[in-house]
Amino acid sequence: MPLDRKAVAHIATLARIKVPESDLDLMAKELDAIIHWVEQLGEVDTSKVEPMTGAVRVTLPRRKDEITDGNCRDKILANAPEQAHGFFLVPKVVE
């Protein structure tokens, strides 16, 4: 799939970013140029390579499954754009 205006509109929806109709063509052109540039990786033979998923290959540490934090509702809500009765307030999602 070339990164055309239809593809940009699709990924913009996935990413929840509104892109005005009038910007789709320019954006498709810019993004397609970047994707075209990264496609040079196709030259590299990676058939025998394991993907590297992090900067360090370590097993993640484990700790006891116990509560170490909490009881800070007001701190969490302190930055909310809108709140009521100890909850975040959002537009109605269920009709």
Partner 1 sequence: MTALTDLTIAGALDGLAKKQFSSKELTQAHVKAVEAARNLNAFVTETPDKALAMAAASDARRAKGDAGLLEGVPLAIKDLFCTEGVLTTAGSHILDGFKPAYESTVTANLWKAGAVMLGKVNMDEFAMGSSNMTSHYGGVNNPWTRRGDNRPLVPGGSSGGSAAAVAARIALGATGTDTGGSIRQPAAFTGIVGIKPTYGRCSRWGIVAFASSLDQAGPMTRTVEDAAIMLQAMAGHDPKDSTSVNAPVPDYRKALSGDIKGLKVGIPKEYRLDGMAPEIDKLWAEGVEWLKRAGAQIVDISLPHTKYALPTYYIIAPAEASSNLARYDGVRFGLRVPGESLDEQYENTRAAGFGKEVRRRILIGTYVLSAGYYDAYYLKAQKVRALIANDFTEAFKKVDIILTPSTPSAAFAAGEKMDDPIAMYLNDVFTVTVNLAGLPGISVPAGLSADGLPLGLQLIGKAFDEETVLKVGHVLEKSAGFTARPGSPS
Binding positions for partner 1, rule: CB under 8 A = 1, 3, 7-8, 11-12, 14-19, 27, 30-31, 33-35, 37-42, 44, 46, 49-56, 58, 60-61, 63, 72, 75-76, 78-82, 88, 90-91, 93
- Least separation, in Å, of the C-beta of 74 and partner 1? 9
| Whole-angstrom distance, CA of residue 13 vs CA of residue 10 | 5
Long-range contact set of residues 78-87: C-beta below 8 Å, sequence gap at least 24: none
What is the C-alpha radius of gyration for the chain, rounded to an integer number of angstroms?
22
- Least separation, in Å, of the C-beta of 32 and partner 1? 10
- Least separation, in Å, of the C-beta of 36 and partner 1? 10
Q: Nearer to partner 1 by C-beta: 60 or 67? A: 60
Q: Residue 86 class from Cβ within 10 Å (0-12 exposed, 13-18 middle, 19+ buried)?
A: exposed
Question: Do residues 24 and 8 lie in contact, with contact meaning Cβ atoms separated by under 8 Å?
Answer: yes
Q: Nearer to partner 1 by C-beta: 25 or 34? A: 34
- Least separation, in Å, of the C-beta of 33 and partner 1? 7
